[in-house]
Amino acid sequence: MKILVTVKRVIDYNVQVRVKADNSGVEKENVKMSMNPPDENAVEEALRIKEAGKADEIIILSVGEEKCQETIRTALAMGADRGILIKANDDIEPLSVSKIVAKIADNEQPGLILMGKQAIDDDANQTAQMTSALLNWPQATFASKIEIEENTAIVTREIDEGLERIKVKMPFIASCDLRLNEPRYASLPNIMKAKKKPIDIKSVEELGIDVRPRIENIKISEPPTRQKGVMVADVAELVQKLKYEAKVI
Amino acid sequence: MSILILAEHNNEEVKSSTLNTISAASKLGNEIEVLVIGNNVDNISKEIANYQYVTKVLLLDDQNYEHAIAEKIEPVIVSIADNYSHIFAPATTFGKNVMPRVAVKLDVAQISDVINIESEDTFIRPIYAGNALATVKSNDTKKVITIRPTSFDVIAKEGGSGVIEAINFVSSENYTEFLDREESKSDRPELSTARIVVSGGRGLQSADNFKLISDIADKLNAAIGASRAAVDAGYVSNDYQVGQTGKVVVPDLYIAVGISGAIQHLAGMKESKIIVAINKDEEAPIFNVADYGLSADLFEALPQLSSELDKLNSIEK
């Protein structure tokens, strides 16, 4: 079985995101970029499934600009086998990405597609569900546990009320929650080895998919800032303030 | 302009997220129809028909829909989508699961997690975990939208006089089977909807010391949260994590204890109404967003806070 894993290059989660002065977007120049955190969980899960002898190849797919190769290399250094980069504009919408993933799935015929549940830049939380609908494969979103059996899998999902377990037929698509696993760090020898692993680069035009945007960004603005409050002298004063000034306890 | 809302419920009661979503829709139009899909949901449909602003309830009552399986709900919505200009659902794990499927089947982009509605095609939504707000205009003919419940008031549960119309749908084969659900049975409120949240960070120094946090949480009937640093250090499990990579919370009162205030944590709690920070380090960035700051050793401050709360409770009693 092949596993297809999607990874997105995003601003590192530790970076303070700054809105550009002209409200056209956020500052991406000279900003540390990393793999989207739940995508790391997706890569890790694929590796564990392969290590358990239930998969033979892990393919990493990224959609975006040339530099997404670095993100693919990170996944290859973790242990994935080969990469595919579909070159496209950086702000390509989830609707278009899902069409690309579905197309690659048609070509590669994986038994499982793993994705992060959400990208921490646009926070859309859409691509896995859309891809599932396009392929007519079962979806297991917000997965915190994946148990692969013969032709089915049991997936534990993180839902607002707690946990839910579903059984899905293979092939299926899972969107991975941060609780799924603890992603490994790439070792130095593996980083060296990853440099020789193949990455197939194609443009989105070659795939023949319409990726024209449907949504216009009118403006990107700073959220309202909080006023800095007061320092209290001790716990007694704090409790008084909460009780009689803020009236929240 | 006619708006369809996908109701969230558990076959027994309507989830409050449905009320927030109807409220959001009421800002746009006066033809508001609510789709209720479930098993034995006659009462649910009757209840919703009475809600403020609701003009019609579409009811699909069948044991096939006992569990909210996205692959089963999506085709039902798609089959009636022609009648509506907008389709709304709450941005909960329920709505997030279903709506992108609807959008792609209609070949439209979805606008996720809307916090404000500017006009019939222009919406505001947080990006980068709320570190920026995007005002976006949809150029699709049909708008598929999820609504962040905490950003809209709830509507009145009466005053409406919607008609109830039963609908039929023949579902095709399905490859997903519901097994079971384990709802968190904590006596404490759910983290994402709690009125008060008490969170601990790396300053707690150990899993054991989190008892100090749970003691305060018990006294305030609060949910417990944690910073990513505390989770990474293994003090508590990841479902307690508040922040960009965890849960986003908007309580009336958020108490951050031993949390320095990393960007990624602030992203998950800075919309809280009142923020309290207790930290030894006066320079900690958490104080920049706190309404009340206390620079103190948490191992002294928390037991004191506990006894002050006891005093307060005994005065009230």
Smallest Cβ distance to A167: which of B71, B179, B304? B179
Residue A138 lies in a domain: yes
pLDDT of residue B184: 67
Please give the Cα distance from B227 to B282 (Å, whole number). 18
CB contact under 8 A, A166 and B94: no
A133, A165, A214: residue with CB nearest B108? A214
Asked if B175 is an interface residue toward chain A (Cβ–Cβ < 8 A), one would say yes
Mean pLDDT in residue range A209-233: 93
Q: Does some domain include residue A241?
A: no
Residue A146: the pLDDT is 98
Chain A partners within 8 Å of B289 (Cβ): 226, 228
Cβ pair A126:B220 closer than 8 A: no
| A186-200, B105-119, B141-155: least confident range | B141-155
Nearest residue, CB atoms, B93 vs list A94, A159, A243:
A159
Average pLDDT over residues B11-16: 93
- The number of folded domains in chain A is 1
Average pLDDT across chain B, whole number: 93
Domains and CATH numbers, chain B: 2-166 (3.40.50.620), 196-316 (3.40.50.1220)
Q: Evaluate if residue B76 carries a pLDDT over 90.
A: yes
Domain annotation covers residue A245? no
Query: What is the nearest CA distance from A33 to chain B, expressed in angstroms?
Result: 13
* Mean pLDDT computed over A108-132: 97
Is A54 inside a domain boundary?
A: yes
Of B56, B42, B98, nearest in space to B75 by CA: B98
- What local confidence, expressed as pLDDT, does residue B130 receive? 84
- Report for B55-69, B150-164, B165-179: range of highest mean pLDDT: B55-69
Domain annotation covers residue A167:
yes
> What local confidence, expressed as pLDDT, does residue A178 receive?
87
State mean pLDDT over B278-291: 96
| Interface subset of A 16-75, CB within 8 angstroms of B | 16-17, 19, 26, 37-38
CATH of the domain at A180: 3.40.50.620
Per-residue pLDDT at B247: 85
Q: Work out the average pLDDT over A3-28.
A: 94
Average pLDDT score over residue span A190-196: 96
Q: Please give the average per-residue pLDDT across B89-103, as a whole number.
A: 97
Average pLDDT over residues B30-41: 96
Cα nearest neighbour of B303 on chain A: A235
What does the pLDDT read at residue A14? 85
How large is the average pLDDT for residues A123-134? 97
B234 has a pLDDT exceeding 50: yes
pLDDT at B185: 64
3-state secondary structure chain B: CEEEEECCECCCCECHHHHHHHHHHHCCCCEEEEEEEECCCHHHHHHHHCCCCEEEEEEEECHHHCCCCHHHHHHHHHHHHHHCCEEEEECCHHHHHHHHHHHHHCCCCEEEEECEECCCCEEEEEEHHHCEEEEEEECCCCEEEEECHHHCCCCCCCCCCCEEEECCCCCCCCCEEEEEEEECCCCCCCCCCCCEEEEECHHHCCCCCHHHHHHHHHHHCCEEEECHHHHHCCCCCHHHEECCCCECCCCCEEEEECCCCCHHHHHHHCCCCEEEEEECCCCCHHHHCCCEEEECCHHHHHHHHHHHHHHHHHHHC
* Residues on chain B touching A178 (C-beta within 8 angstroms): 238, 241, 245-246
Among the partner residues A169, A215, A246, nearest to B137 by beta-carbon distance: A215
* Alpha-carbon distance B108 to nearest alpha carbon in chain A (angstroms): 7
What pLDDT, on the 0 to 100 scale, is given for residue B317? 43
User: Does B184 contact chain A (CB < 8 Å)?
Assistant: yes
In chain B, which residue's Cα lies nearest the Cα of A159?
A: B93
Mean pLDDT value of segment A83-104 = 97
Q: Give yes or no for residue B253 having a pLDDT over 90.
A: yes
A231 in a domain, yes or no? Answer: no
Distance from CA of B274 to the nearest CA of A (A): 7
Give domain status of residue A14, yes or no: yes
Whether residue A234 is contained in a domain is answered as: no
Q: Do A133 and B196 touch (CB under 8 A)?
A: no
**Is pLDDT at B316 greater than 70 in this prediction?**
no
Domain encompassing residue A116: 2-218
Nearest to residue A162, comparing CAs of B52, B310, B181, B204? Answer: B181
What part of B 134-153 touches A (C-beta under 8 Å)?
134-140
- Give percent of chain B above pLDDT 90: 79
